[in-house]
A and B are shown apart, each in its own frame.
Chain A
Amino acid sequence: DIQMTQSPSSLSASVGDRVTITCRASQSITRYLNWYQQKPGKAPKLLIYAASSLQSGVPSRFSGSGSGTDFSLTINSLQPEDFGTYYCQQTYTSRAFGPGTKVDIK
């Protein structure tokens, strides 16, 4: 099985900060990597698919990059509504999710 890790597990940042979350796969998954945002009590929301494609309706301050085993999600100019937990997901083999990164607003 491909193992997914995310770092950091949590972070606290100020409005306007640039935030980067990384996701690493235990073996190459080419670009079969998605990113989701989840807020408490809600279903996850798709942000980025195929490593770097922005889902329709998602603000352009969100961007994704990477290929192979190393990926990142960047939030440019963090906004108050961006709090929540962010998950990566590989679809190269199964559809497994990473452990998540919790983002708090300072």
Chain B
Amino acid sequence: QVQLVQSGAEVKKPGASVRVSCKASGYTFTNYDINWVRQATGQGLEWMGWMNPNSANTGYAQKFQGRVSMTRDTSINTAYMELSSLGSEDTAVYFCARGEFGMETSFDIWGQGTMVTVSS
């Protein structure tokens, strides 16, 4: 079946970086964008950016520009999100989600979420 499976929970110290992976199966990986969305405990959904696995083109929310990097390895159908200079405010569940290319997009398949905790 079509699914996205994310890597496990992470605990990081302030100032460190974290990389979360998102493995796609059941569909052609390069035919859809991968988006990243995070959610702090008790808070709403915050879109971070998108990556086109075919071209490797990316688009990041202004808030995260300079601090986030979205990449992929098409040989293993896996997308990655790396966030640097972590602070306590980055403690959240991070989701990957599949979306169609372009403006007329919606996120129809989601990963299970990865908890990232930033603590000294």
Q: A49: which B residues are within 8 A, CB to CB?
A: 106, 108
A91 sits at the interface (CB 8 A): yes
DSSP majority for the A interface? loop
A99 sits at the interface (CB 8 A): yes
Q: Output the least CB separation between A3 and chain B (Å).
A: 13
Q: Output the least CB separation between B85 and chain A (Å).
A: 22
A95 touches B110 (CB 8 A): no
Interface residue stretch chosen among A10-18, A20-28, A32-40, A70-78: A32-40
Contact flags B41-52 to A (C-beta < 8 A → 1, else 0) = 000111100100
A96 CB contact (under 8 Å) in B61, B105, B107: B61
- Chain A CB within 10 Å — which of B45, B50, B59, B61 has the most? B45
A46 touches B108 (CB 8 A): yes
A44 touches B106 (CB 8 A): no
Q: A98: which B residues are within 8 A, CB to CB?
A: 44
Q: Name the interface residues of A27-84: CB closer than 8 Å to any CB of B.
A: 32, 34, 36, 38, 43-46, 49-50, 55
**Complex-state Cα separation, A42 to B81, whole angstroms:** 20
A55 touches B45 (CB 8 A): no
**Complex-state Cα separation, A54 to B62, whole angstroms:** 31
Q: A94: which B residues are within 8 A, CB to CB?
A: 47, 59, 61
Query: A91 with B103: in contact, given A43-B110, A96-B61 (CB under 8 Å)?
Result: yes
A96 touches B106 (CB 8 A): no
A1 touches B106 (CB 8 A): no
B53 sits at the interface (CB 8 A): no
Q: A46-B107, A95-B35, A95-B47 given; name 18 further pairs at CB < 8 Å.
A: A36-B45, A43-B112, A43-B113, A44-B37, A44-B95, A46-B106, A46-B108, A49-B108, A50-B104, A89-B106, A91-B103, A95-B61, A95-B99, A95-B105, A96-B47, A97-B44, A97-B46, A100-B44
Chain A residues packing against B (C-beta within 8 Å): 1, 32, 34, 36, 38, 43-46, 49-50, 55, 85, 87, 89, 91-92, 94-100
